[in-house]
Amino acid sequence: MTADVGVTPEPFEILDLVGESVFVRDFDGCIKAWNKASETLYGYVREAAVGKFASVILHCDYAISTADVEAICLATGHWEGEVKRKSAQGRQMLVHVHLSVRYDPMGKPIDIVETGRDLAGSTDFEQASRLSERRYRNLFQAMAASFWELDVSDVNERLRALRRSGVSDFKKFFIENRGFVREMMRSARVVDVNDQTVVLFGRGSKGELLGNIEPFWPEESEHVFIEAMLSGIARRPNYWMECRLRRIDGTVFDALFTIAYPPRDLIGGTIVVGVIDITERKKSELALRASEQRYQNLFKAMAVSFFELDLSGVRQVIRQLRTAGVSDVKKYLRDNPGIIREIMRATRIVDVNDRSVVLFGCGRKEDLLVSPEVFWPEESWPAYMEAILTFLDQKPSFSIETRLRRLDGTVFDADFTVWYSPENRSAGLAGVLDITERNRAQEMLQRVRGEFAHAARVSMLGELSASIAHEVNQPLAAIASSGEASLTWLGQAEPDVDEVRELINQIVADAHRAGDVIARIRSMAEHRAPERSAVSLDEVIREALLFIRPELQARAVVVSHQPSRCSSFVLGDRTQLQQVIVNLAVNAMQAMVQSDCHKRRITIRTAVADPAGVSCVVEDSGPGIDHDNFALLFDSFFTTKQHGMGMGLPICRSIIEAHGGCIRAENVSTSGGARFSFVLPAAK
- Report pLDDT digits (tens) over 641-680: 655 555 678 878 888 888 889 999 888 777 778 899 999 9
Q: Give dist(CA 411, CA 369) in Å, integer.
A: 19
For the segment 52-64, what is each residue's pLDDT rounded down to a tens digit?
988 889 988 887 7
State the Cα–Cα distance between residues 520 and 542, nearest whole angstrom.
Answer: 12
State residue 39's pLDDT score.
Answer: 92
pLDDT tens readout for residues 121-157? 444 545 554 545 555 554 445 456 788 888 888 888 8
Mean pLDDT, range 544-548, rounded to an integer: 80
From CA 79, how far away is CA 413, in angstroms rounded? 63
Coil, helix or strand for 395? coil
Residues 6+ apart with CB under 8 A from 514: 472, 475, 476, 479
Nearest CA to 541 among 585, 509, 504? 585
CA dihedral sign, ordered 228, 230, 231, 233: positive
Q: What is the mean pLDDT of residues 101-109?
A: 83
- DSSP-derived pairing of the beta strands 675-681 and 662-666: antiparallel
Cα–Cα distance, 25 to 684 (Å, whole number): 75
**Residue-level pLDDT at 630:** 74
CA pseudo-torsion sign 621, 609, 532, 399: negative
CA distances from 281 to 206, 242, 288, 603 (A): 26, 11, 10, 67
Note the pLDDT of residue 274.
87
Helix%, strand%, coil% for the chain, nearest 5? 50, 25, 25
Position 638 pLDDT exceeds 80: no
Superfamily (CATH) of domain 325-435: PAS domain (3.30.450.20)
Q: Please give the CATH number for the structural domain made up of 13-122.
A: 3.30.450.20
pLDDT of residue 31: 92
CA atoms within 13 A on the CB side of 576: 27
What is the average pLDDT across 236-240? 84
**Distance between CA 479 and CA 348 in Å, rounded?**
79
The segment(s) of the chain belonging to CATH 3.30.450.20 are 13-122, 144-282, 325-435
**Higher model confidence: residue 451 or residue 356?**
356
How far is 499 from 668, CA to CA, in rounded Å?
A: 56
**In this predicted model, which residue has the larger pLDDT, 89 or 72?**
89
Angle between helices 66-76 and 125-142 (to 10 degrees): 40
DSSP-derived 3-state class of residue 666: strand
pLDDT band of 579, cuts 50, 70, 90: confident
pLDDT band at 307 (very low <50, low <70, confident <90, very high): confident
* Residues linked to residue 404 through DSSP beta bridges, in sequence order: 412
Give the least confident one: 68-82, 94-108, 494-508, 583-597. 494-508
Q: Is 657 left (phi over 0), alpha (psi -120 to 50) or beta?
A: alpha
What's the pLDDT band for 4 if we cut at 50, 70, 90?
very low
Beta partners for 558? 601
Distance from C-alpha of 471 to C-alpha of 546, rounded to nearest angstrom: 11
Say whether pLDDT at 248 is over 80. yes
Average pLDDT score over residue span 245-270:
77
Tens of pLDDT, residues 468-519: 555 565 567 657 766 776 777 777 777 777 777 877 777 776 676 666 666 6
Q: Is the pTM above the cut of 0.85?
A: no
Mean pLDDT of 396-423: 89
Measured from the Cβ of residue 375, the count of other Cβ atoms closer than 10 Å reads: 24
DSSP readout, 507-550?
HHHHHHHHHHHHHHHHHHH-------EEEEHHHHHHHHHHHHHH
Give Rg (Cα) of the chain.
Answer: 46
Predicted local confidence at residue 602, as pLDDT: 92
Band of pLDDT at residue 636, cut at 50, 70 and 90: low
Average pLDDT, the chain: 80
Q: How big is the CA angle at 320 (ends 318 and 326), to the nearest 5 degrees?
A: 75
Q: How far apart are CA 71 and CA 27, in angstroms?
A: 11
Cα three-residue angle 201-205-209, rounded to 5 degrees: 50
What are the start and end residues of each CATH 3.30.565.10 domain in the chain? 531-683
Pick the CATH number of 531-683 from 3.40.630.10, 3.40.640.10, 3.30.565.10, 1.20.1050.10: 3.30.565.10
Instruction: Indicate the burial class of 384 (C-beta count within 10 angstroms; 0-12, 13-18, 19 or more).
Output: buried
| Interval 154-183 mean pLDDT | 91
Q: Phi then psi for 647, rounded to 5 degrees?
A: -115, -10
In this structure, the chain runs to a length of 684
Q: What is the DSSP letter of 667?
A: S
- Report yes or no: 515 and 498 within 8 Å, Cβ to Cβ: no
For residue 427, what are the β-bridge partners? 310
658 in Cβ contact with 674 (< 8 Å): no
CB 574 within 8 A of CB 535: yes
Residue type, 219: E
Cα(35)–Cα(16) distance, integer angstroms: 5
Distance CA 297, CA 480 (A): 82
Query: Is the pLDDT confidence value at 245 over 90?
Result: yes
- H or E element in which residue 193 lies: strand 189-193
Burial category of 169 from C-beta neighbours within 10 Å (exposed 0-12, middle 13-18, buried 19 and up): exposed
Give pLDDT, residue 266: 40
Q: Do 456 and 448 form a contact (C-beta atoms < 8 A)?
A: no
Q: Is the pLDDT score of 448 beyond 60?
A: no
More confident residue, 480 or 319: 319
pLDDT-derived band at 195 (thresholds 50, 70, 90) equals: confident
Q: In b/e form, how buried is each residue of 455-480, taking b as 16+ CB within 10 angstroms?
A: ebbeebeeebeebbeebbeebeebbe
User: Can you tell me the distance from the alpha carbon of 217 to that of 238, in angstroms, rounded to the nearest whole number?
Assistant: 19
Classify domain 144-282 at the CATH superfamily level.
PAS domain (3.30.450.20)
Q: Is 638 exposed, middle or buried (0-12, 13-18, 19+ CB in 10 A)?
A: middle
| pLDDT, position 474 | 57
The answer to whether residues 649 and 634 touch, using CB atoms and an 8 Å cutoff, is yes
